Amino acid sequence: MINIQQFKLSKDTLMFLLICTGGVLLFVFVGIIPNQFAIQGVTEDIMQLESDIEKQKYMQPFFLDYLKKNRELKNTEIKLPPKKRLNQNAINTFGDQLRQLAELNHLRLEKFLPDVDRLNPTTKTIPLTIVVQGELYGFQDFYQNICKLPMIDGIEAIYIRTVKQTKEMQLNLMLALE
């Protein structure tokens, strides 16, 4: 057995030993442990970045295809047909044409109202109000097809509102007459 009384330390040695032990513990708690947490955080960031890079590698062909299509779209122009005027007697058949166009785009033509009182004799245009009901995605195609019609001289206004769980869209157009 070891006799503890054989190890007599002086006060100076004991103080020096406590100061050195305190310095080592201070170094561990202030220098090493916080750095360990920082290294762990940086490691997680690196893993997240590597995951993002893998996703971007996977998505790169789609992105390049999108860029190619986008450049092609920028180089194309919307070609509208040459404007022609509608015979005044053909306004009723034009209503049937609009009804077919609306049905083609899954819409229902509710109103077709030419405003004869506002007929402009100098420009030979007549205001026309069209009201259709249906889903909004069908309205976009309907609107594009309306713009392609050669007798449409201009669009004054578009109103969209919700009516009984569907959309009601109103177009105020200018129709060119002979």
Q: What is the pLDDT of residues 71-88, one digit of tens each?
A: 776 655 666 667 788 776
Which pLDDT band, with edges at 50, 70 and 90, does 177 fall under? Answer: confident
In whole angstroms, what is the distance from residue 10 CA to residue 63 CA?
76
For residue 120, what are the contacts with CB-CB under 8 A and spacing of at least 6?
A: 126
Pairing state between β 166-176 and 152-163: antiparallel
Rounded Cα–Cα distance for residues 112 and 156 (Å):
15
- For the stretch 40-66, pLDDT in tens is 888 999 999 999 999 888 888 888 888
pLDDT at position 77 = 61
d(CA 158, CA 29): 70
What pTM does this model have? Answer: 0.53
Q: Give pLDDT, residue 4.
A: 55
pLDDT (tens digit per residue) in 98-156: 889 999 988 998 888 887 777 777 778 888 889 999 888 788 888 888 888 888 888 88
Residue 174 is encoded by which pair of tokens? 């200018």
User: Which of the pair, 92 or 170, is modelled with greater confidence?
Assistant: 170
